[in-house]
Amino acid sequence: EDLLNAGYTHAWLFNPPVVDPPRMLINMMDEVQNHPLTESVDVEMDSPYDNMDEVVEDAIRYGCDSVINCSGLGAAGICNDSTLKGGRGILLHYDRSCSRREFNARGLKHDTCILTEEGEWAEHESCYMIPRGDKIVVGGSYNEEDKEQLISDRERQRLEKNAWTLGIDTAKAKPCDEWVGFRPSRSTVCLQVDNSFSPSGLQIVHSYGTGGSGWTVYSGIAKEAVNLLLE
């Protein structure tokens, strides 16, 4: 009823895989570490890189023959890419077992992803709910001009309204956490070979700028980055 009143008369229903990022990253790291061709894995660093020269210097020191730059928003500084912007996103986290509104309790047996980006919501203030592990995340926003790292009271109230609209009984369920992040966004994804360091003997491929679609395209973009190295 709330969605109908907001101007929604039709919907697409489909069954996509839902990624739980922390668990997925742990599994990916385990796969890399246990691969028979892996000699060592080191994800620690003393300080962030300031530019590609430092990346190349370290790569040569470690005996690497290739580098794939997946530095995300950090590429704005490392690659001096002024087209890369941080698309601000905000979330409230609810416990997966939190109280639901009665219309959900009667008929909905499984959590669903609900995404709405038109209707009463502004262009930069989308409304969505996604089950993720033992949490439900409620969003959101997308604004490349906003660099605020905390959720404002007004934003929190809007997210709580979204949670109510999408089926959480906010009179009984309170958020267990909140989150602000910045998507690495540019007009097009940067997936290309960098020949400027060829004299060093290194092959370099840049792969960043997927915005909010990283979990959707990461598998395909990783394969394409490897294909570029092998050409």
pLDDT at 150: 96
- What is the pLDDT averaged over residues 75-79? 95
pLDDT at 103: 63
Beta bridge partners of residue 87, listed in sequence order:
183
The rounded distance, in Å, linking the Cα atoms of 156 and 91 is: 9
Could you tell me how many residues make up the chain? 231
- What is the pLDDT averaged over residues 22-48? 90
Arithmetic mean of pLDDT over the chain: 87
Q: Contact at 8 Å (CB) between 188 and 25? A: no
The rounded distance, in Å, linking the Cα atoms of 80 and 51 is: 8
pLDDT at 29 over 70: yes
Cα–Cα distances (Å) from 213 to 121, 123, 161, 188, 228, in that order, read 20, 17, 25, 12, 21
157 contact partners, CB below 8 Å, separation of at least 6: none
The rounded distance, in Å, linking the Cα atoms of 186 and 118 is: 22
Smallest CA-to-CA distance from 8 within 111, 116, 113 is with 116
Strands 203-210 and 66-69, bridge-based pairing: parallel
Q: Contact at 8 Å (CB) between 89 and 144? A: no
